[in-house]
């Protein structure tokens, strides 16, 4: 660089200073990239070497006829051990039930499966998000902090009716939920 290109007031070796700063930042970015790649390799190998913690299989051909996912057993119920369990089935192009009632401030275990194609759902803006694959039972436990209603759309493209495939999740107060389950009713949504 010739002296005429140095802006007025800049240190005489501004080019050298900039080059050193660039080298430092290139080094920092390089370390970050190496760390991320190492994490990907480590988790990829570790997960590939271990079986998933639990894989529950189910025959999708007779879901409606027998077992846990018959229609009368779908929806939310309280298990004998006190756990709240919401069961649902996805099929082209709807969820059964269409509206799921859950209590607020209580862990709720979702158990779902599919009769035909790969489906999935998310619940509103919560972090509940799962895929429903025929032949497997998907399960997760989550707690809804506030009462209210969430949309629950299918988020795996499953065919021409996919965009119309959604259900609702109604989160109600725990006492109201317990009162309704104590009456022995199958808990279903109330229109609001
Ligand atoms: Cu879908």
- Give the distance (Å) from ligand 1 centre to CA of residue 99: 16
pTM of the model: 0.71
**Residue-wise pLDDT tens digits, 35-62:** 999 999 998 888 777 766 667 889 989 8
Local confidence pLDDT in tens for the 192 residues of the chain: 454 566 676 667 888 999 999 999 999 999 999 999 999 999 888 877 776 666 788 998 988 888 899 988 899 988 888 899 999 999 999 999 999 999 999 999 999 999 999 999 999 989 899 999 999 999 999 999 999 999 999 999 999 999 999 999 999 999 999 888 876 666 778 655
- What is the distance of C-alpha 57 from the center of its chain? 20
Gap between the Cα atoms of 165 and 180, Å rounded = 28
Residue 27 CA to ligand 1 centre (angstroms)? 45
Cα–ligand 1 centroid distance for 163 (angstroms): 7
| Cα–ligand 1 centroid distance for 122 (angstroms) | 11
So what's the pLDDT on residue 165?
A: 95
Judging by DSSP bridges, how do beta strands 94-96 and 107-114 pair with one another? unpaired
What is the distance in A from the centroid of ligand 1 to the CA of 92? 7
* Positive/negative CA dihedral, 64, 107, 156, 133: negative
pLDDT of residue 189: 80
Burial class for 28, CB neighbours closer than 10 Å (0-12, 13-18, 19+): exposed
CA–CA distance, 153 with 126 (Å, rounded to integer): 12
- Tell me, what's the pLDDT at 1? 46
């Amino acid at each position: 660089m010739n002296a005429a290109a140095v802006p007025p007031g800049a240190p005489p070796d501004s080019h050298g200073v900039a080059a050193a700063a660039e080298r430092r930042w290139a080094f920092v970015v390089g370390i970050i990239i190496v760390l991320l790649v190492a994490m990907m390799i480590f988790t990829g190998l570790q997960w590939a070497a271990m079986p998933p913690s639990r894989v529950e299989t189910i025959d999708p051909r007779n879901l409606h006829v027998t077992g846990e996912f018959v229609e009368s057993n779908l929806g939310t119920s309280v298990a004998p051990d006190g756990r709240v369990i919401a069961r649902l089935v996805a099929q082209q192009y709807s969820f059964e039930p269409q509206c799921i009632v859950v209590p607020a401030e209580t862990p709720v275990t979702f158990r779902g499966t599919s009769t035909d194609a790969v489906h999935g759902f998310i619940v509103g803006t919560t972090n509940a998000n799962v895929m429903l694959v025929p032949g497997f039972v998907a399960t997760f436990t989550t707690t809804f902090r506030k009462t209210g209603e969430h949309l629950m759309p299918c988020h795996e493209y499953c065919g021409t009716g996919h965009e119309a495939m959604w259900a609702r999740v109604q989160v109600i107060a725990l006492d109201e939920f317990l009162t309704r389950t104590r009456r022995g009713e199958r808990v279903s949504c109330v229109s609001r």
